[in-house]
Structures are given as structure tokens and as C-alpha cells.
Structure 1
Amino acid sequence: MQILKDEVKKSIRKAALSEFKKHGYLKASIRQIADAAGITPGNIYRYFKSKDDLFDELIQPIQEQLAEVLRVTKQEVDSTLCTELSDHLLILRRIDASLMLLFKESSTELTILLNLSEGSRFASAKQDVITLVNQIITEVFTEEIAPSGVLSPKEQLAASMIATTMIESISLILRDHEDGDTIKMLVDELLYLYCTGISEKIKLLKA
């Protein structure tokens, strides 16, 4: 009997991941999940109290892993170890590598977390990554081009724009591709272009 229950729950989880990836949290339907799992909607509620409960079980583990990546990275950014442009750009590449590792382990869950969690309690996950990257880029600009320690409003906006577009671009790559090698190639190329662009911008501003 327990084996049967485990198999039913496994079928629900598999169907739910597919539904959330296809329609996102807000538009996902318990009825569609039940149909895909070959059970009635009522049976889902024997295992999960609500759509929230089901979504949480699927997405919370990857959200916790991402939160830990951000926590460790922020500690490194805040430390005195980051004093050169190369230090900060290396951290951006570590964020890239961490996202790729999470994708390798839980590709569907990470894609849903970053692109399709609007309306859930995980809706701020992408913004949390953007905020950290913005902090890194802001510190790079401040260290390199603001002797006073204060960036101009224009440079603050530039740092915010770079951080937002960088993470949005990575999120789109995760959304539109499933092959891990292709994703790594595209994200590595994206990071290279951004890091090169940041370096060139700093050279121009310091000239």
C-alpha cells in the first residue's frame, strides 16, 4: 500500500512540474495536473493541501540552494578580499557557475523558480539575484571610477540596468533551452560579453 502511495505522489509531482513549467504558478491548474497524473483532483488533496503546498514541495529545495549561494556570495562581496575589478568579475563568474550547477541538478525547478513563480511566495527569487549582482557591479564602478566613494545617479542606473539585463538574459536562456551543454555555452558567452563590456566602460570613464 505504501509503495502505491509513493508511486501516486511521484506521478503527481511529475505532472505538476510539467504543468508549472508550461503555464507558471498562477495559471497552473490542479485539474490539469490530476488529468496528467491519471487521478482525480480530489486525490491530489489527499497528498497536498493546496496548489501552494504542492508548488512549495517542488520548488522550495532549489530556492533554499539558491538562497545559500547568494548568502555565501554576498559574504564574499562584503569582505575585504574584493578590492580589484578582477575580483568582482570573478564573483560574477562564480554566480554563473553556481546557477549552472543548480540547473544541472534541478533544471525544471530552477527554470520555474526564476521565470514562472509569480504569485507564489518565491516570486522574489530572481530579484534577489539581480540585487546581489547590482551590488557587485555597483562596488566595481565605485572602486574604479568614483574616488569620492559615491556614484553619480547615471552610473547607479547603469549598474542597475546591467544587473537586471544580465540575469533576465540568463533566465531566458534557461527558459528557452533544455540541453545543459548548450545552456552553459550560451551563459558563458553572455558573461564574457558583459564582463568585457564592463571592463571597457570603466576604461572609457577613467580615460
Structure 2
Amino acid sequence: MAQILKPELKEAIIQSARNEFYTHGFEGASMRNIAKAAHMTVGNLYRYFENKEDLADALLSSTIEKLDKIITGEINNLPVNMIDDQRRSIEFDARIRRLTMGFAHVFETERKEFMTLIRHQRMADQVVVSIKKMLTLIIERWFSQVDLFDRRIDMITSMLASAIFCGLVRLFEESLESGQEEIEWMIMTYLNLFTLMISAGDLHYEKK
């Protein structure tokens, strides 16, 4: 006879994992501690989740989906042929404001999941990939003289994506006690610095 899995027990496990992952990180989290906090045996826990990765996916899938939606929304609505500096500046400002509000909202409403996600290498890498995709499209559509097949450009885009993410991680790590207004100001200021870097890089770029 097939064993019946109870939704309320599955939810209890996820809530226990939420606290365990946040406190100890993914690597330091213990399935035994999670089972104990959920008032069940470790064996029973493994009936619901095969391993820590499976449990982390269940806990964080909604949060990473929201972050990806924020970034993907900017990718899907990116205008083309933004060769005018003033229009480009306006577009940058609008996108940074939306990204800022989106990131800050997820951080405020799902703080434990958000912090667990950015500390989890595999899932953090997914966010970096999305950021790089957005940067690549911006360069392709707004800086037409740049050769995206230039290995140097691909390398610099990867570096920028990683730098943006690492800086945001540091920002959020040190903002756990900060209010939303302060967090939004820091995110917006930080992202604006990268728009200046991208624009400055365009001025110095030369095709081979």
C-alpha cells in the first residue's frame, strides 16, 4: 500500500528548513535538526524530500522565480536602437528604479528565503546568468558599435554580472537591520554606478 504524504507535514518541514538554512547556510544545515524542529524522525523527513538540494528547491523556488521575473521583465521590454545618450539615460534610470523596487520588495517580504538563496552557490549562479543575459542584451541593443562576438566583451560582461551580484550580496548582508527606504537608496545608487561604467566603457571601446 502506498504511503500517504500529508501536506501539513511537508509544510512543517519547509518551515523548519527555512530557519535552519537561514541560520546555518546550506552547507551547514542539518537534516536531523530540520526533522527535530518539525517533530518527526529523519526517516520520515526523507519520505518527503530526497536530500537537502530537494528541500532547498522546494523552499526557494518561489523566491528565485520572483527574482528571475523581475530581471526577465526588463529583458523582454528592452527597446532597440537607443543610440541617443539622453534617451538611453532615461531608460537606464527607469530600469534601475524598477529593479531596485523589485529586489527590495522580495528582500523585505521573503528575507530568510532571499538570504538563503544568495548564499547558495548553485542558485546564486542562476541569478548571475540572468544578470549577464540582461547586460548582454543592453549592450547589443544600445551600443551597436560593440562586437558581442569579441571575447573581451563576453569576459567583461561576465565580470560585470558577477560584480553586480557580489555587491548586492554584500549590501543585503549588511542591511538586515535597515529600513526599506535606506535599502532602496543603496541598491539604486549601486546599480547607477554600473550604468556609468557601461557608458564609459562604450566611449573607450574600439573594434579590432
The verdict on a shared fold, with TM-score over 0.5 as the criterion, is yes
Quick one: distance in 1 between partners of 2:121 and 2:40?
25
Quick one: distance in 1 between partners of 2:159 and 2:98?
20
Q: 1:150 is matched with which residue?
A: 147
1:192 aligns with 2:197: no
Task: Return the letter of the residue paired with 2:35.
Answer: A
Distance 1:180 1:35, change over 3 A: farther
Alignment of 1:79-118 (within 5 A): 79-80=79-80, 82=82, 84-86=87-89, 87-88=91-92, 90-118=94-122
Q: How many aligned positions are there?
A: 194
Q: 1:42 is matched with which residue?
A: 43
CA-to-partner distance for each residue in 1:126-175, whole Å, 9 max, x for gaps? 222332243145337724xx2xx526554554343223211221122223
Quick one: distance in 1 between partners of 2:115 and 2:70?
16
* Structure 1 residue 59: Cα displacement: 0.9
User: Structure 1 stretch 189-198 or stretch 82-91: which is displaced more?
Assistant: 82-91
CA-to-partner distance for each residue in 1:10-44, whole Å, 9 max, x for gaps? 54333211222233334421012223445432343
- 5+ residue gaps, structure 1, are none
1:21 aligns with 2:18: no
Quick one: distance in 2 between partners of 1:187 and 1:155?
25
CA contact (8 A) 2:74 2:134 kept: no
Percent identity, aligned pairs only? Answer: 25
1:55 aligns with 2:52: no
Normalising by structure 2, we get a TM-score of 0.71
Q: 2:136 is matched with which residue?
A: 135
Quick one: distance in 1 between partners of 2:137 and 2:44?
47
Q: 2:168 is matched with which residue?
A: 170
Normalising by structure 1, we get a TM-score of 0.72
Quick one: distance in 2 between partners of 1:90 and 1:34?
45
- Which secondary structure does the structure 2 equivalent of 1:45 belong to? helix
CA contact (8 A) 1:142 1:150 kept: no
CA-to-partner distance for each residue in 1:73-111, whole Å, 9 max, x for gaps? 22112x437554222453344333322222222122122
Quick one: distance in 2 between partners of 1:52 and 1:95?
28
CA contact (8 A) 1:138 1:159 kept: no
Q: 1:74 is matched with which residue?
A: 75
* Structure 1 residue 46: Cα displacement: 5.0
